[in-house]
Amino acid sequence: MINIVLFGKPGAGKGTQAEFLKEKYNLTHISTGDVFRYNLKNGTELGKIAQGYMDKGELVPDSVTIDMLQAEVEKHPDTKGFLFDGFPRTISQAEALDAFLSSKGWSVTATIALEADDEVLVERLLERGKTSGRADDQDEAKIRHRYREYNEKTAPLISYYEAQRKFHAVDGIGPIAEITHRLSSVIDAL
Ligand code: AMP
């Protein structure tokens, strides 16, 4: 079993690359952002809790997010591995993921970061916002708030995974297929 954490700032291309990698390596893709958006659209209790945070570009509280992630993992007992996209985003989430996977005899195999410059990504998100319908992609102040959340709460995960010798980074700028190739080279060497 291989469990990959796809890591990177909003707009770095995690979702796009996950679509290719899940097929190539036969992995179960879990995007916490997608699960939250699905719940929002369907007006579930979880969606109502998440909405206020998502609208402001803030992280949904850890307890809510961790419970949701665990429920998603439990839906796939026979998988060959997971591709986590947008999770974990805080040290608490990473610790909870380690503990949860370990309770099943599993572990995070590697974390792979898609690296890109903030200014390039802000432009990319504003472009995406024109067609994605995502409120959090349409307002530059909200986008910048998501980057502050990332720098404050998510960036410390780099040291967390480096300490476990599980952190890998690839250049996230370039043609989509080229970036898939860079990510695949890391996965093939695991
Ligand atoms: P994303 O599609 O990954 O950019 O996520 C969109 C929004 O969903 C984020 O701005 C957060 O409000 C929420 N979200 C997604 N994943 C997480 C997470 N792991 N922890 C907390 N909030 C999250």
Share of residues in the chain with pLDDT > 70 (%): 100
Q: Token digits for 145?
A: 């708030």
Return the sign of the alpha-carbon dihedral for residues 103, 104, 109, 111. Answer: negative
Which CATH number does the domain housing residue 47 bear?
Answer: 3.40.50.300
Residue 167 has pLDDT above 90, yes or no: yes
* Residue 144 designated active-site: no
* Residue 165 designated active-site: no
State which of 9, 17, 54, 62 you would mutate to test the pocket of ligand 1, scoring each by most atoms of that ligand within 8 A of its C-beta.
54
According to the model, what pLDDT value does residue 189 have?
A: 97
Number of domains in the chain: 1
Q: What is the DSSP string of 109-145?
A: -EEEEEE--HHHHHHHHHHHHHHH--GGGS-HHHHHH
> For residues 126 and 141, what is the distance between their CA atoms, to the nearest angstrom?
11
Q: Could you tell me if the CB of 60 is within 6 A of ligand 1?
A: yes
For the chain, the first-to-last Cα distance in angstroms comes to 12
- Ligand 1 atom closest to Cα of residue 31: 3
* Residue 37 designated active-site: no
This prediction has a pTM of: 0.96
Catalytic residue from among 9, 22, 142, 146: 146
According to the model, what pLDDT value does residue 132 have?
A: 87
Query: 17 with 6: CB under 8 angstroms?
Result: yes
According to the model, what pLDDT value does residue 152 have?
A: 97
Q: Could you tell me if the CB of 35 is within 6 A of ligand 1?
A: no
DSSP, res 152: I
Q: Could you tell me if the CB of 86 is within 6 A of ligand 1?
A: yes
Q: Could you tell me if the CB of 97 is within 6 A of ligand 1?
A: no
- Ligand 1 atom closest to Cα of residue 89: 19
Q: Could you tell me if the CB of 13 is within 6 A of ligand 1?
A: no
Residue 135 has pLDDT above 90, yes or no: no
- Cβ-defined contacts of 36-44 (< 8 Å, 24+): 36/60, 36/68, 37/134
What is the span of the domain harbouring residue 48? 2-188
Residue 92 has pLDDT above 90, yes or no: yes
* Lowest model confidence (mean pLDDT) among 31-35, 97-101, 116-120, 131-135: 131-135
> For residues 153 and 34, what is the distance between their CA atoms, to the nearest angstrom?
20
According to the model, what pLDDT value does residue 5 have?
A: 98
